Structure 1
Amino acid sequence: MGKTVRQAARATAHLSKGVAMAFGTYLFVVVLEITTIGTVFVIGAWMLPEAVLLVRRIAGAKRRQVAGWSGRGIAEAYRPLDGLPLRERFVAAVRDPGTLRDLRWMVAHYGYGLLGLLAVPLWIVGLPVDGVRCGLLRRRAVVLPLIGRLADLDARWSAALLKPSPKALLTERVEELAETRAGVIAAHEAELRRIERDLHDGTQARLVSLSMRIGLAKRAYDREGGGDPEAARALLAQAQDQAEEALTELRLVVRGIHPPILTDRGLAGAVRALAASSGLEVALDVEELATGPRAPAAVEAAAYFLVAEALTNAAKHSGSERAQVRLARAPYGLTVFVRDEGKGGADEADGTGLLGMRRRIAALDGTARVSSPAGGPTVVEAELPYAW
């Protein structure tokens, strides 16, 4: 019976918030009509987008409230209003299907949101009066669960009114994919430029020098009077050294595309090698990935490069001697966590490579977050979705 009372109390709290929000939305609609419709059009045009943003916040609060009660979130899909000129903001606010949907919910919620007022008489009926306990348990068992059903009803109606249409979700997804595609193209172009620069400045220069050394050695052998074998040998030895250096640089370029160590050791082993060569004291938690099925090659490469970039930045810029790396399986894919206790202040715009890593992860429909307040710590987290 105690569980019934606690559930009824939780439902009452949910309904009470709904009642407060219902009265708040009523006052908001009245103020909106007075200020927007009753004022000069230019002022109203300026205020309407701001009012729409406020409506979105109110609807967002209701979505969070429903998610807290039911455990199921409600998606949202809106056209962006920030950063647009006044005219475009006004047009976007008016034409956004989410605006009409939210206003429709506000009007309806002013009616069904007052269902919470019924919780008070239900509590009175369900609890003892003047200490009389006759029939108390029976009344509680019958009456108090009704409060929970009222909360369920409020959540279902709110979810039905606030969820975006399939067309709105599709439009948002298309815009998201277009943005991701642009980021992938930019990341790909940057990667091609890096590879071209590495080949031009390093490997190509060494191969040109190698060709010159071989040419000089050939001339030394062909010189009149029997040639100069010792000079030719010295030149060939230099050419051999340069050939080995060119091969080393080619391996580095290839490793930047897809590290061979990932193929040989898997993601767990590759991250262990990164930690060992980082110059930091790294606390590793990758044992979960040492056994079981491996992630797709593209996912492993994205996770590897993210850890490599984060550890490199920590070693070069953070001033910290310690870092923490954790990779784990999740129901939806792979999670990556890197933290250092350095001075913080990492900024993607400063060329730290984090922007490129974010784009690489976005190409796989993943997400990356960087938190680096002044004074530290710096935390890099990523979620890479795929099916195990």
Structure 2
Amino acid sequence: MLRSILDNDFYKFTMQNAVVKLFPNAYTRYAFINRGKHRFPPGFAVRLREAVDAMAGLQLTSDERLFLEEMCPYLDPTYHDFLQGFRYNPLEVQIEQDGEDLSVTIEGLWYRTILWEVPLMTLISQIWYEMADEKRDDDDTVVARTRQKIEHYGHLGVRIAEFGTRRRHSYEVHDLVVGALKRYGGSTFTGTSNVHMAHRHNVKPLGTHAHEWFMFHAARFGFKMANTLALEHWVEVYRGDLGIALSDTFTTQIFFDSFDKMFAKLFDGIRHDSGDAIDFARTTIEHYQRLGIDPRSKTIIFSDALDTEKVENITRFCEGRIGMSFGIGTNFTNDVGLKPMNMVIKMTETRPEGRQWLPVVKLSDIREKNTGDPEMITLARRILSLPS
């Protein structure tokens, strides 16, 4: 069902490159979390297994490699060689179904397993809608709705990226949406997180790192040092490129305790992914000001469940105070007249450098988004002096 090894979010490849260089011996485990309590029909696991097994045949083409070389010069030739030789190993993915409940787990070397999360979610979503056999809006309606949104954002004068791979309705809808964004978006549309769609439509692939980068560092180096070392290692690999830092893996409060003047100057900005966006913007502006940095020289990438109303409210607050850009996901790629799925796949454990397996956690600004072992979450909050 997947047509390209690049049908994945860009930050998976940028993180993979960093993991290959810095943590080649680390192992990880991931698990599917059914936040929406979806009920899976008989035979779903079989369909998913078939799609996962077929991924073993995906490989980077010469044309795709040339695209990466031209668009992403900070990915060096050794990584391009690595990716060209990379093949998915379906044995790393375990899929089980018990009645209407679905279990999906992943285990293996981190530099390999890191690529599974987004394609698996994409497949789960697409197979779910196919088996539900519910009629979506027609292509013309999807394109018209996308055009209306991007032209509205253009009138607001903001920059918009498409971040909707993991919960897209289908490949076909995703392709329609990115095509419409390019056709009607002009300078408003900055690119897509999906590298295959970026290649297909000749736009920029966008992304830096995800929560798992920080989650691993917490297990490897401790909660107190996680943010600092995760940022330092990112700078070590990318030397100033890919300079947007994710802020909420262990709450924004803890992030800003580590985001000192050096990091604030080194990184171009910060990505917001949970909690109240206006409160986050206010806190970020004040943080830069305390450090003697003009917030208008920095950017916040807002990416938490955005729609047109949220973008308007954020724009009104941030305009003239700090740079801003928006990554919109499901509201682009699964706005087709059906209810989107609510699910995630998260890293659950890691075995860094030959050590024992250790649970990893995420402490979002919204507690409902916390993931991981409850006892480890309690321990993390205690170590970080966060309310229990």
Shorter chain as denominator, the TM-score bin is under 0.3
Point out the structure with the larger helix share. Answer: 1
Point out the structure with the larger strand share. Answer: 2
Larger Rg: 1
TM-score (norm 1): 0.19
TM-score (norm 2): 0.19
